[in-house]
Structure 1
Amino acid sequence: MARSARGAVSALFFLNGLMVGSWAPKLPVLMSRLDISEAVAGGLVLLLGLGSVTVMPLFGALTARRGSAHAVRLAAVLATPALLLISVAPNLAATMAAVVLFGATVGGMDVSMNANAVAVERQRRRAIMSSCHGFWSLGGVLGAGPGGVAIAMLGEVWHAVAVTLVLVAGLALSLPHVLRDAPAAEGAQAAPLRLPRSPLPYAIGFMALCCMVPEGAILDWAAVYLQREMGASLSVAGWGFAACAATMAAMRFLGDLLRQRLGAVRTLRIGSLVAMAGLGLAGLAPGPGPAIAGFALAGIGIANLVPIAFSAAGNLPGLAQGIGLSVVTTMGYSGILLAPGAIGWLAERTSFSAIYLGLAALLLVPLLLSRLALTADFSTGGDAA
């Protein structure tokens, strides 16, 4: 049972990453099909983020009241047709509505599947969060890199049809095996369902936000940066995020072991420094090749920053299941989903090169706040479980 639940939650992370990765090469296609500027495209990204961060707290409360298994099933089923709806939307208004749906359902799925991963950690008494996020990155690789090639070969709509069929098959295989965790109200010492009074979840959430802004900037704008500022083809441009996601996946599969050996604080510090170097290389790169290499290096550094923050939030004592995690995921994903919208506006006035250099400096924040990650060491959370 424990092993099948571990496989099921890993599959959910993979499928969520596949959806998000498939969005990456779609944005420049939407810009061309709808004849919109970077600023308008940034507005679409902003709508995606607003849909996501608005719904995340609702799924945190749903997780607390009915368990993460119920919440993740609902979100996953609703998210499945969203990419196809974006691809067939006939005008900007319909595209905006479909993008909001995509952001809301993917965001709700993200909160609930992270809560389910914490539940599996507690059942197994072993850290799995980094490797779960590794499966998310693996899905992102297959969604972003080959996705750009598939769009170029098959067209936007048939690419979306193919992704949707994969999602349906994957959910049919994984959802029956998702761990059925007890709602908070059924616990013997259930905490009240309210926003936390302790500042710790909000501080961890701010750290997660600063870690996820650069990831969001690579997800949404790497392809546009490579194509428009560096002259790369569409099939090459998709590999900007894919390179980042690939190295993130590799490092996340090592992340649980690294955290056990080095500790969460040291792992976070090393990752922040490596990510800063990668973003700096991407911003200063003279052409697509070095820029993609920079994104790959950034992925190595970013890889375990967010899993450490989420694992710390999911194991905070005194909070109802899903509440602390929903605070941190909502704050964190406001970085990955809302900030890139502002980046589109800034890109028209500066350049993506300058933006990526600025994002390297932003990672000074998690570097300075790294002591907040101490509770992510699973030996602490696991003993308390």
Structure 2
Amino acid sequence: MNFSIVTLGRAKLFPRERQAVSCLFFINGFVVGSLAPKIPELGERLGISESVLGFLILCFGLGSLTMMPFIGPIIARIGSARPAKIAAALLAPTILWLTLSPNIALAGISLFLLGGFAGAMDIAMNANAVSVEQKTRRAVMSSCHGFWSLGGFVGAAGGGMLIEGAGNATHAAIVTVTAAAGCALAWRKVLEDRPAGNRERKPIRLPRTPLPYLVGLMALVSMVPEGAVLDWGALYLRQTFAVDVAASGLAFGAFSAAMALTRFAGDTIRNRFGATATLRASAMLAFAGIFTASIAPQAGLAVAGFAIAGIGIANMAPILFSAAGNLPGMAPGIGLSVVTFMGYSGLLIAPATIGFIAERTGFGVIYAVLAVLVVTVAIFSGQARHADMR
């Protein structure tokens, strides 16, 4: 009897639809994370400079931002299940395409497609997570993003070891097979959330209300610090505190580890205290962490600040994505496409701007300004009420 109760409890908390969408998040993070150890190999194999390599990396971001505005209307018309599954299937072999690219042009196309399919899948799987939340009446978005972080860690860390031990081709083949297996595992379990027929006949256009753009700005402000820490945290520690290469990696490690662990606890916290209170507390923690790192007199305190920032930032974007998928009078795909496009614009484009400004001001000033900007999310945290399952 006790075993049956436990089994039923687990089935209620982790229904097959939640398992499936979590698997999709893991696949997306795994493939994108697997790109990280491929970048140095790509530069060496093609014999290209860092500037050309930077242009190729930009192709990934451009692919994501190009596809995101188009996938929203598709989701609004046919639901998120089919776009999510098709994008996942198309994403699976992209690391293999990149590995087999013999020149810069094909490598750029491969990275553009990788970014495009990853971006399309990102919006579709977030929309599907919103549908799962609506069906189960429970928050699941933060844990889904936790699975994305876990997939990214496995792809990046495991990919480096695979490339070193087994070679580039074997690594690409394993990534492709693993991603394809994940797709097959989730395929029949993904929640079918096809919209009502009357919604399909309505014209699909950009929202004419300011609400999704306000939520999008909040997502942008939430995600810019994430990119600033991940891309520039190590250099900040080296330049400011003269630490060695190994110690400089602690900025990324402390931030990402704290963020991943907090995301798995985020749904429980949000279900207990509500989206608005959770977002407000998260923003203030993010402010405290980033500001501490910006004024820290020693490297250890800066690393602690980055860890606190990771705890705060972890659940900000998931809550805002849930809110975007539940905005009144708006199809989930439309609201999500606007908010994710604006949020990921900050994550993908802002770090390059930060590097340009930091050459003149230093990273300490940059982090202090970002900390102050995060406070605006706390000020407008009432918009997160749309994420609550009532």
State TM-score, norm by structure 1.
0.84
The aligned residue for residue 265 of structure 1 is 276
Does the C-alpha gap of structure 1 residues 176 and 291 become closer, same or farther in structure 2, counting only changes over 3 Å? Answer: farther
**CA–CA separation in structure 2 for the residues paired with 1:86 and 1:223:** 27
For structure 1, list consecutive stretches of 5 or more residues without a partner in the other structure: 380-385
Among 9, 18, 25, which residue is 1:6 paired with?
18
Deviation per residue, 1:20-47 (Å, 9 max, x gap): 333344445555665533x555444433
Question: Is this contact kept in 2: 1:141–1:243, CA < 8 A?
Answer: no
Q: How has the CA–CA distance of structure 1 residues 148 and 358 changed in structure 2, closer, same or farther, with 3 Å as cutoff? A: farther
Alignment of 1:247-326 (within 5 A): 247-280=258-291, 293-326=304-337
Report how far residue 8 of structure 1 moved. Answer: 0.3
- Show the counterpart of 2:137: 125
Aligned to 1:165: 177
Q: CA RMSD in A?
A: 3.2
Matched residues in 2 for 1:159 and 1:278: separation?
37
Q: Aligned to 1:116, which of 113, 118, 128?
A: 128
| Contact 1:225/1:352 (8 A) holds in 2 | yes
CA contact (8 A) 1:18 1:142 kept: yes
| 1:333 Cα offset (Å) | 1.3
Listed as ranges, the gaps of 5+ residues in structure 2 are 1-10
Aligned with 1:363: secondary structure?
helix
Residue correspondence of structure 1 range 23-38 to structure 2 within 5 A? 23-27=35-39, 30=42, 34-37=47-50
1:88 is displaced (CA, Å) by: 4.0
CA contact (8 A) 1:144 1:238 kept: no
Deviation at 1:290, TM superposition (A): 6.5
**Higher Cα Rg: structure 1 or 2?**
2
1:95 aligned to 2:134? Answer: no
Q: Provide the residue aligned with 1:20 in structure 2.
A: 32
SS in 2 for 1:332: helix
Q: 1:68 aligned to 77, 80, 88, which one?
A: 80
User: Paired residue for 1:232?
Assistant: 245
Q: Quick one: distance in 1 between partners of 2:166 and 2:174?
A: 10
> Aligned equivalents of 1:293 and 1:141: distance in 2?
20
The 5 Å alignment of 1:122-271 reads 122-184=134-196, 186-187=197-198, 192-221=203-232, 231-232=244-245, 241=252, 243-271=254-282
- The range that moved more, 362-371 or 6-15, is 362-371
Matched with 1:332 is 343
Q: 1:297 to 1:154 in 2, by over 3 A?
A: farther
C-alpha offsets along residues 150-173 of structure 1, whole Å, 9 cap, x if unaligned? 445445554333322221111111
Q: Secondary structure at the match of 2:188?
A: helix
State the shift of 1:255 in Å.
Answer: 1.3
Aligned-partner Cα distance in 2 for 1:148–1:355 = 31
Quick one: structure 1 residues 203 and 5, their matched pair in 2 at CA, closer, same or farther if it must change by over 3 Å?
A: same
The structural deviation recorded for 1:207 is 0.5
1:364 aligns with 2:338: no
SS of corresponding position for 1:378: coil
TM (norm. structure 2) is 0.83
The one-letter amino acid paired with 2:346 is G
1:136-183: CA deviation from partner (whole Å, max 9, x where unpaired)? 122122223444444454455543333222211111111221111113
Mapped to 2, the partners of 1:293 and 1:92 lie a distance apart of 41
Distance 1:76 1:349, change over 3 A: farther
Cα contact 1:44–1:341 (8 A) shared by 2: no
One-letter amino acid matched to 1:79: L
Give the superposition deviation at 1:257. Answer: 2.1
Task: Letter of the 1:20 partner, please give it.
Answer: V
Q: Which amino acid aligns with 1:372?
A: Q
Quickly say closer, same or farther: Cα 1:251–1:52, change in 2 above 3 A.
same
Distance change (3 Å), C-alpha of 1:83 and 1:293: farther
Kept in 2, the 8 Å contact 1:56–1:108? The answer is yes
| Alignment correspondent of 2:3 | none
Could you tell me the percent identity over the aligned residues? Answer: 52
Provide closer, same or farther for how the CA distance between residues 218 and 21 of structure 1 changes in structure 2, counting only shifts above 3 A: farther
Amino acid at match of 1:36: S
Deviations along 1:58-115, one digit per CA (max 9) or x if unpaired, are 1111111222111111211111122233344344433322221111110000000011
* Structure 2 equivalent of residue 342 of structure 1: 353
Provide the rounded CA distance (Å) in 1 between the counterparts of 2:96 and 2:248: 22
